[in-house]
Amino acid sequence: MPIKNRFAEMHADIAAWRRDIHQHPEILFETHRTSALVAEKLRAFGCDDVVEGIGRTGVVGVIKGKADGSGKVIGLRADMDALPIHEQTGVEYASKTPGAMHACGHDGHTAMLLGAAQYLSETRNFDGTVVVIFQPAEEGGGGGREMCNDGMMDRWGIHEVYGMHNWPGRPVGEFAIRPGPFFAATDLLEIEFEGLGGHAAKPQETIDTTLMASHAVTMLQSIVSRNADPIDRIVVSITSFETSSKAFNVIPQKVQIMGTVRTMSPEARDLAEKRVVEICEGVASTFGGVARVNYNRNYPVMVNHDAQTEFAADVARSVSGQCDEAPLVMGGEDFAFMLEERPGAYILVGNGDTAMVHHPEYNFNDEAIPAGCSWWAEIVEQRLPLAS
C-alpha cells in the first residue's frame, strides 16, 4: 500500500494515542478529557490556532499552508465520543470506565486525524488553510449540528468538508464511497397509549392499552410493506415496550413504546411520520383510548456531493490502489449536518475481519492508521496543491 513514509514512522505513536483514548471513553458531550488531550496535542504540533468549546466540547485546529494564493479552506472532521456499552474485548488497554467503551472506532478516527494534523503542521505543503474538526456527541447527541449552530463553517470560512469512518468486514486500509444519499435519516419515536386500567379478571371494564399498543406495533410495519414505494428504503423498528404496571393481575392504564424510523429521502421521511401518527392515533381510537405521538426528526439523510465524492475516491485510489462503491447504510451519521452546510464527502476505510461496530467485542484496527492518515493528508495536498 503506497502510504506516506511519515505515517509509517508515526504509526506507533498514533496507535498509542488511540489506545490511551480507548482506555478513557467519554459519552456524548462529556468528552472533557479527550477534548483537552486533542487541544494539547494540536498546540504541541504548532497549529496556528486552537479553539475549544465549539459545539459545547468540540475542538477546532487551524493549519495554514506555505501559501494562501488559493484562498481555500478545507475542513477535516473526526468524532470523539464513545458508547454506553460494557467492553468485552479483553485487550490490555480496555476501557477503565464501566459501562462505556469505544465500540465504534471514534478513538481511531480521532487518533488518525491527530496524526494527519501533526504531519500537515510539519510540512505545510499546500496552498490554503486546513481546519481540523474534532466533534463530540456523534452517537445520538447531534454534536455535528451543535458545531454548525455555533457558526463553525462561517467563522473559519470552510469551503469543503471531509469525513471518514472505519468499516469492519472491509479489508484493512481499503476504501469505499458512494455519491448522493449514503447514510439514512434517523428519527426517534416515543408513543404513549392511554386507556382505562383495571383488574385483569374484568377486561370488559377496561380499555386495554397492552392490546392497543400491540396492534399498533404490528400495524406500523405496514408503512414499509403497504405505504412506501418498494424501491424506497424505510426501516421502522419498535425497540421498547413498557407498561405502567408490572403486576400479573392489572391491565395497565398506560403503555409507552419507543423506536426508530430510518429513511433515505425527504419524501419517504414525510410519509413515515404521517403514517406513524395516523396509525397510532387510529388504533387507539378504535379501542377507545388515545395515543400521544412524539416523532422527533433527528439526523437527516447524509448526502455526499458528487464532485467531492469523485475527488475523495480518486485520492483513496492514490493511497490504496482502489476505491469500491459503498452500499447504502441505514445507520445514521451526523456528519450530515456539515454536508448540508458545505459540499464534501464521507468515506469508509476497511477495519478488517473484526466484530461489527456497536458490539462489545469490537476494536479499532491500528493497522488501518497509515491509510486513514494518508487519505486525510492527500485530500489537503491534492485539493490545495502548491504552485510548482
Determine whether the annotation assigns residue 278 to a binding site.
Answer: no
Backbone angles phi, psi at 172, to 5 degrees: -55, 125
User: What residues form DSSP beta bridges with 108?
Assistant: none
- Helix axis angle for 32-45 and 106-123, nearest 10°, is 20
Joined together, the cell numbers standing for residue 99 give 459501562
89: left (phi over 0), alpha (psi -120 to 50) or beta: alpha
Joined together, the cell numbers standing for residue 289 give 383510548
Determine whether the annotation assigns residue 47 to a binding site.
Answer: no
Angle in degrees, CA 118, 17, 155, rounded to 5: 50
In contact, 319 and 363? CB cutoff 8 Å: no
Determine whether the annotation assigns residue 104 to a binding site.
Answer: yes
In angstroms, rounded to a whole number, what is the distance separating the alpha carbons of residues 178 and 326? 5
Determine whether the annotation assigns residue 106 to a binding site.
Answer: yes
Determine whether the annotation assigns residue 139 to a binding site.
Answer: yes
In angstroms, rounded to a whole number, what is the distance separating the alpha carbons of residues 135 and 152? 11
Joined together, the cell numbers standing for residue 322 give 482502489
Mark the binding-site residues for Mn(2+), compressed into ranges. 104, 106, 139, 165, 358
Mark the binding-site residues, compressed into ranges. 104, 106, 139, 165, 358
